[in-house]
């Protein structure tokens, strides 16, 4: 049943973006969607036109795919995503990411806004995700496994592909950014964490806290795609700075926009060579 939904969504999307054949997909997180507006020869496909898709309910999360060219390469971007805290089944949350893989995306660049937990992290910093803690209390692979998607018990040792992190690190260095790597704790939300929860997360080895990404990475890794995770530290995590607001998150993401877009463009140019 789930497989058919993915297939149907991918076919529909494929038809709408013909003749483009993107091998790289991007998920653009809170406040980070502007990258899609910089694509050349762009074609938008609103989520609400796609069979089986849910609409994002969060302000500032536009809801559409944008297919276009970056550095001369076809890419497919999700401008906005849905979250588990919106009350949707997890299958629905990962459907767009799975549809991109089904459509031929071999690499998924998955971005998010996150709270910075570890020492020295500053708002506005971009961090490469090295690994995650799935603390959402759910896994997108529960239920009967469909072998057409992937194996029952996927290994997660290199869920955030080391080669892609290395590539991103090099691109960052060439742009004067020394990108740190960190462990992303994916929580359910939508309330931000308490200071006590942040102390717990830090003790557990988390560097970043957020409300997305982990289930998408599990789902696309299950299907054999490679994932690169990038967090934009929009705020210090609870208890480490002032009070948290979604406005602050959006404002920092806005400030980071030019650097973030430049980094993504550089990464896509490097991926173009890697995939050639
Ligand atoms: N916690 C969880 N999610 C977030 C945060 C945070 O501090 N900032 C942006 N998304």
Residue 61 among the catalytic residues: yes
> What average pLDDT does this structure show over 42-62?
77
Is residue 244 lining ligand 1, measured as CB closer than 6 Å?
yes
Helices 90-102, 2-16: axis angle to 10 degrees equals 50
Domains annotated on the chain, with CATH = 3-275 (3.40.50.1580)
Distances in Å between the Cα of 62 and the Cα atoms of 28, 30, 47, 128, 248 are 10, 9, 9, 24, 18
Is residue 114 lining ligand 1, measured as CB closer than 6 Å?
yes
Share of the chain above pLDDT 70, in %: 97
Token duo for residue 226: 């490679």
> What average pLDDT does this structure show over 255-264?
94
CA of 185 to the centre of ligand 1 (A): 10
Q: Number of C-alpha atoms within 13 angstroms, CB side, residue 75?
A: 30
What pLDDT does 69 receive?
A: 96
Mean pLDDT, rounded, of the chain = 94
What pLDDT does 112 receive?
A: 96
| Catalytic residue (one of 61, 132, 221, 222) | 61
| Catalytic residue (one of 62, 211, 225, 238) | 211
Give the model's confidence band at 55: pLDDT under 50 very low, under 70 low, under 90 confident, else very high. Answer: low
| Catalytic residue (one of 9, 30, 99, 132) | 30
Residue nearest to atom 6 of ligand 1 (CA): 115
Give the model's confidence band at 20: pLDDT under 50 very low, under 70 low, under 90 confident, else very high. Answer: very high
> What average pLDDT does this structure show over 138-159?
96
What pLDDT does 32 receive?
A: 87
| Catalytic residue (one of 11, 86, 158, 248) | 86
116 strand-pairing partners: 208, 236
Residue 219 among the catalytic residues: no
Is residue 214 lining ligand 1, measured as CB closer than 6 Å?
no
What pLDDT does 2 receive?
A: 85
Q: What is the pLDDT of residues 81-122, one digit of tens each?
A: 999 999 999 999 999 999 999 999 999 999 999 999 999 999
Q: What is the pLDDT of residues 197-248, one digit of tens each?
A: 999 999 999 999 999 999 999 999 999 999 999 999 999 999 998 889 988 8
Residue 273 among the catalytic residues: no
Residue 222 among the catalytic residues: no
Q: In the block, which residue shows the tokens 């937990």?
A: 117
d(CA 209, CA 187): 7
Is residue 249 lining ligand 1, measured as CB closer than 6 Å?
yes
Residue 30 among the catalytic residues: yes
What pLDDT does 53 receive?
A: 85
Q: Note if the bond before 190 is cis, omega within 30 degrees.
A: yes
What pLDDT does 60 receive?
A: 47
What pLDDT does 56 receive?
A: 59
pTM of the model: 0.96
Residue 235 among the catalytic residues: yes
What pLDDT does 30 receive?
A: 79
Residue nearest to atom 2 of ligand 1 (CA): 210
Phi then psi for residue 208, to 5 deg, are -140, 145
DSSP 155-211: --TTSB-HHHHHHHHHHHHHTT---EEEEEEEE--SSPPPHHHHHHHHHTT-SEEES
Sequence-separated contacts (24+) of 191-200 with Cβ below 8 Å = 192/115, 192/238, 192/244, 193/115, 193/237, 193/238, 194/238, 194/239, 195/238, 195/239, 195/240, 196/239, 197/238, 198/115, 198/117, 198/237, 198/238, 198/239, 198/240, 199/239
Examine the pLDDT at 14 and tell me if it is beyond 60. yes
What pLDDT does 16 receive?
A: 96
What pLDDT does 129 receive?
A: 98
CB-based contacts of 20, cutoff 8 Å, min separation 6: 43, 67, 68, 74, 76
């Amino acid at each position: 049943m789930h497989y058919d939904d993915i297939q149907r969504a991918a076919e529909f999307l494929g038809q709408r973006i013909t003749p483009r054949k993107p091998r790289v997909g991007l998920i653009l997180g809170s406040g980070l969607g502007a990258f899609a507006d910089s694509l050349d020869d762009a074609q938008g496909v609103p989520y609400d036109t796609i069979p089986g898709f849910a609409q994002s309910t969060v302000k500032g999360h536009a809801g559409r795919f944008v297919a276009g060219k970056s550095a001369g390469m076809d890419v497919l971007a999700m401008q906005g995503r849905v979250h588990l805290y919106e009350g949707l089944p997890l299958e629905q949350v990962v459907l767009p990411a799975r549809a991109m893989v089904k459509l031929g995306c071999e690499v998924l660049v998955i971005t998010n806004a996150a709270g910075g937990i570890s020492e020295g992290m500053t708002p506005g910093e971009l961090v490469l995700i090295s690994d995650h803690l799935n603390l959402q209390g759910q896994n997108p692979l529960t239920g009967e496994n469909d072998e057409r998607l992937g194996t029952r018990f996927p290994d997660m040792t290199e869920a955030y592909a080391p080669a892609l992190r290395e590539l991103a690190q090099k691109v960052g260095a060439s742009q004067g950014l020394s990108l740190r790597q960190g462990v992303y704790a994916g929580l359910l939300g939508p309330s931000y964490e308490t200071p006590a929860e942040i102390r717990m997360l830090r003790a557990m080895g988390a560097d970043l806290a957020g409300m997305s990404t982990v289930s998408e990475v599990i789902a696309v890794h299950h299907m054999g795609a490679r994932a690169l995770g990038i967090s934009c530290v929009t705020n210090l995590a609870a208890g480490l700075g002032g009070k948290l607001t979604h406005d602050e998150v959006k404002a920092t993401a806005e400030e980071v926009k030019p650097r973030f877009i430049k980094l993504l463009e550089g990464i896509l140019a490097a991926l173009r060579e890697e995939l050639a």
